[in-house]
Amino acid sequence: MKKILGLDLGTNSIGWALVDKDTQKVLGMNSRIIPMGTDKQDYEKGVGITKNATRREKRTARKMNKRYKLRRNKLLFILHTLGILPDQFQFKNGVPEPTKLQELELLPIKKGTLQLDSLGQYELCVKALENKIELKDFAKILYKFNQLRGYSGGNNDDDTKKKQQDEDANDDDAKKKAYEVITQKVEVLSVEKSDETFTVRGGKNKGEKQNYFTITVKLEEEEKEGKTELQNLEEKIGQEEEFEIRIRRNKKTGKETSVVFALPQKSNWRKAMEADEKVLKDENLFISELRLKDLRQSKWTKIRNRVFLRNRYKEEFDKVWETQAQYYPILNSCPKETLEKIANYIFPGKSESQQQLRKQAFEKGLKYILKEQVIYYQRPLKSQDELISNCRFEKEEKVVATSHPLFQKFRCWKQINNLYITS
């Protein structure tokens, strides 16, 4: 049987096909696209490249921008309906139809219109925490809340932390983990150079031999000794420093076999966020109070790209709303006709979820609409149930998860059945 291999060699692709000459059938075919330009160097090194990653990043940015504009336009419509829209916001073509909310456009701010700078904005926010302000100034604060919503990945809920601490306290000491990692600030008591060495794995000193250091710290009223690769720790003696403490224990006895100290693996923005969170908690401040304090100390203080927890923004929202509601009853007792108009406009769909959102908006009032359905609205995760395949034996049943005990039992029996004796 004679076979013919055909190749199509292009500048950045290779195509091939294998044909059986006798039967005139194609036995197989495929193609390989070779990336060019800067990607070619990575390709020649054997690095896997996918152009989908770049497409996905840009698509995600477009979706995030679209969702922000929808939230913004919903907020502007609500402020316009309540008659408290700030003067600098002027609609270009009026209010669009509910199903075309993304087409809402604003006119450029007129020349000479008074605008608040960062200092003035935060002075207004701090004033609103305790004192009466104009409704249109209150609307400016709401617009600012919509721009900066905070990081929702963390949680500073004391109840959640207390629950976790209670669960940890109930664990039996005999069942301590064989390997545990603790990230915590501890007081450095002593640092001594060790005779044991290691090879630096990266950085400008890569390949060099350096000495380990024996370090003793105070961890939860107890002294703990271990080793570290960190250099120049002698100057930290008597000070508090944050370490990632890696503890290994004997599985049978539970005794510690090694303790290693390293720097915590955190990105710069997370470190800054935790530092700001500590200041907010220690000094009992709101975000606007902290930023105003920093701006008064230095007008060059960084405002953008400074991350705070979303719970902190929500706390400030509640405080501002509570204060202003004392002077403006409409905030807590908005007329039902107005609520119905707002709910029908921002949730115009006929689906069950849209109907549920309209019902919640009408029942729970203006604050709930602004806070939970517009400014801090978090889209629920899309269900992935359709990705679960059907069983090949019982067609109407879904397959069980690989983490399910029944599947684990099946896998064990399958391994046992695959064993055979060779001698």
Domains of the chain, residue spans: 3-49, 68-152+284-375, 174-265, 389-418
- Give the residue-averaged pLDDT of 110-118: 85
pLDDT at 174: 40
pLDDT of residue 137: 94
Residue 329 vs residue 379, higher pLDDT: 329
% of the chain surpassing 90 pLDDT: 47
Confidence at 121, pLDDT banded by 50, 70, 90: very high
Beta-carbon neighbour count of residue 116 at 10 Å?
Answer: 13
164 pLDDT band, cuts 50/70/90, is: very low
Distance CA 102, CA 99 (A): 8
**Structure token pair of residue 62:** 């477009």
Strands 240-249 and 222-228: unpaired
Residue 155 pLDDT more than 50?
no
34: nearest Cα among 24, 26, 23, 42: 42
Residue 43 banded pLDDT, cuts 50, 70, 90? low
What are 333-366's pLDDT values in tens digits?
999 999 999 999 999 989 999 999 999 999 999 9
* pLDDT higher than 90, residue 292: yes
Write the CATH number of the domain with boundaries 174-265. Answer: 2.40.50
Which among 32-41, 244-253, 352-361 has the top mean pLDDT? 352-361
The average pLDDT across 231-255 equals 85
Q: Residue 193 and residue 202: Cα distance in Å, rounded? A: 21
| pLDDT at res. 180 | 85
pLDDT score for 44: 57
Categorise residue 355: left if φ over 0, alpha if ψ from -120 to 50, beta otherwise. alpha
CA-only gyration radius of the chain, Å: 31
Q: What is the residue-averaged pLDDT of the chain?
A: 86
Q: Is the pLDDT of residue 167 over 50?
A: no
Query: Would you list the DSSP string of 168-197?
Result: HHHS-GGG--SEEEEEEEEEEEEEEEEEEE
Q: In 3D, which of 190, 255, 198, 199 has the Cα closest to residue 226?
A: 190
Which of 40-49, 74-83, 102-111, 211-220 has the weakest average pLDDT?
A: 40-49
